[in-house]
């Protein structure tokens, strides 16, 4: 039952992540089309615009855009370095880093996928350690700098679980 609930919540987070706006730069002039109520007309090569992530993925598959700020191997390594050196805060990784990284990994060949997957796992481990550290401090997730939407959900649920355990322990006093 709980697993189904978590799957549903993760699906909602995916929808939120897919509809989140990302900045793209057009690599060439796109055809004049309207998709999902968004019209691509009179856009020249080199123009930067904000589009929903789902649309950016589609356009990227056709080599029409590049996503600005997309996590690549170099940025992952920099993020890992920043997480290690910034011991008391989370480094900036964007609003939906895990979903965006997953979409990047899914398109790689097996050798590169394995290497990038290890980097992502290292980054997740560092970030989750910090997030769990914040819980006893009773910080609100909105007060934690650079926490992603995915991490905010995790933080709030771990905190609720720990608060429940604490209340149950207090029954024995």
The per-residue pLDDT for 7 is 66
For residues 141 and 128, what is the distance between their CA atoms, to the nearest angstrom? 13
Nearest to 42, CA basis, from 55, 31, 58: 31
CA dihedral sign, ordered 43, 49, 54, 59: positive
The per-residue pLDDT for 139 is 65
Question: How confident is the model over 97-107, as pLDDT tens digits?
Answer: 777 777 777 77
The per-residue pLDDT for 11 is 65
User: Which domains, ranges and CATH numbers included, belong to the chain?
Assistant: 2-67 (3.40.5.50), 73-170 (1.20.58)
| Residues forming a β-bridge with 52 | 21
Could you say which DSSP state residue 106 is in?
Answer: T
The per-residue pLDDT for 111 is 85
Nearest to 132, CA basis, from 169, 160, 158: 158
Averages of pLDDT over each 10 residues, the chain, 173 residues: 62 68 85 77 86 82 82 84 85 73 78 86 87 74 76 82 76 67
The per-residue pLDDT for 6 is 61
Nearest to 103, CA basis, from 45, 160, 61: 61
Model confidence, pTM: 0.65
Spell 1-24 as b/e; 16+ CB within 10 A means b: eeeeeeeeeeeebeebbbebebeb
- How far is CA 70 from its chain centroid? 10
């Amino acid at each position: 039952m709980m697993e189904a609930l978590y799957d549903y919540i993760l699906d909602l987070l995916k929808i939120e992540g897919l509809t989140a706006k990302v900045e793209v730069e057009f690599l060439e002039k796109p055809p004049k089309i309207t998709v999902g109520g968004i019209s691509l007309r009179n856009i020249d090569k080199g123009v930067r615009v904000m589009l929903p992530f789902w649309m950016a993925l589609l356009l990227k598959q056709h080599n029409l855009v590049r996503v600005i700020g997309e996590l690549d191997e170099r940025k992952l390594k920099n993020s890992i370095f920043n997480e290690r050196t910034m011991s008391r805060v989370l480094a900036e990784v964007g609003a939906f880093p895990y979903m965006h990284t997953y979409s990047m990994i899914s398109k790689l060949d097996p050798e590169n996928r394995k290497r990038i997957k290890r980097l992502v796992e290292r980054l997740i481990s560092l970030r989750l350690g910090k997030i769990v550290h914040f819980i006893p401090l009773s910080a609100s997730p909105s007060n934690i700098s650079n926490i992603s939407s995915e991490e905010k959900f995790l933080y709030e649920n771990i905190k609720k679980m720990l608060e429940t355990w604490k209340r149950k322990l207090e029954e024995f006093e």
